Each structure stands twice: as C-alpha cells, then as structure tokens.
Amino acid sequence: MNGPALYELPSAPASWRVALPHTAAAVPVARALVRTALAELEHGADRDTAELLTAELVANAVEHTSGETPIELVVELRPSGCQVEVHDTDPKPPGDLTCPSGGLPDPWQEHGRGLLLIRTLSSSCGHRPTESGKAVWFRLPVVPAQRRSSA
C-alpha cells in the first residue's frame, strides 16, 4: 500500500453471545456491552450508533415478545465493521424492518421509530429464523479514523 493507512482494521474477528433478561433492564446492559466491546478493541464502527440501534433491537424484543425466556445479544466485530443480533423466541418477523409500509411515524407518539432508525442508520439490517424463534440484526461499517469524532 502506498501512502499512509486511512484506518486500522482489527486483526481478527471477535464475537460475544450474552443472555439478557426478558425485561426492560436488558436495554442499558446491552448498550453498555456493545459500547465496551467496541471501545476495548478500539474498533472503528460508530459507537453511538451501535449503542442506539442495539437498544432499539433489545427494547423491541422485550416489548413485542412474551414469556420469560431470556433474549440473546450477539455482537460480532469484523475487520469491515460490526454486526449486532438480538435473538428472541417469537418466529414472527419484525414489523416493517426490511419492507417499510405506510408513511413516516407520527412525531407525537412515543413509539414507532425504532425500525425506521435501524433501517436508516445501519448499512444493512434484517431478520432470519432460528431454531427457537428469530434473530434480528444490523450492520455498521468501520468509519475511517479521520471521520471519527475525538470524543
């Protein structure tokens, strides 16, 4: 490669799989886990966006599935970016994650923007069936060091 490197890529993929309680308490725990994973490995994906979208996925899993079975958070850090998945026991696909319907959410409502945020801010997103339900996921690319904030 000629010239300076634009950004450094992690040398190898790393991943975590964590069971979280099927309660609202899982949301801040999931946010902290994603932020810590990205920070400790000095990964180049946008931490704020990863944390926000993870919170949306976990909150949706808790709110829209029933039972007490834990949900699972899976974080994969790859040289090209990160992928976050949330596994739950409901096989039903998540609303309009990959196929938007209708117009924009009502700005006066407290709910209804999570899937829009995930679609808009991720590089890709989707869902897939699992043996015990489904996994809903998003991906974020590595951001070049020159474009990252120094915060």
- Tell me the per-residue pLDDT of 56-96, one tens digit each, with 9 for 90 and over: 999 999 998 988 899 999 999 988 899 999 999 999 988 76
**In a 3-state reduction of DSSP, which class is residue 70?**
coil
Average pLDDT (14-42) is 93
Does the pTM surpass 0.75? The reply is: yes
Could you read off the pLDDT of 96-147 as tens digits, one per residue? 666 555 555 555 455 556 788 898 899 999 999 999 999 999 999 998 765 5
Higher-confidence residue of 139 and 11: namely: 139
Which of 8-22, 24-38, 104-118 has maximum average pLDDT? 24-38
Distances (CA, A) of 98 to 81, 93, 126, 143, 146: 20, 10, 6, 24, 31
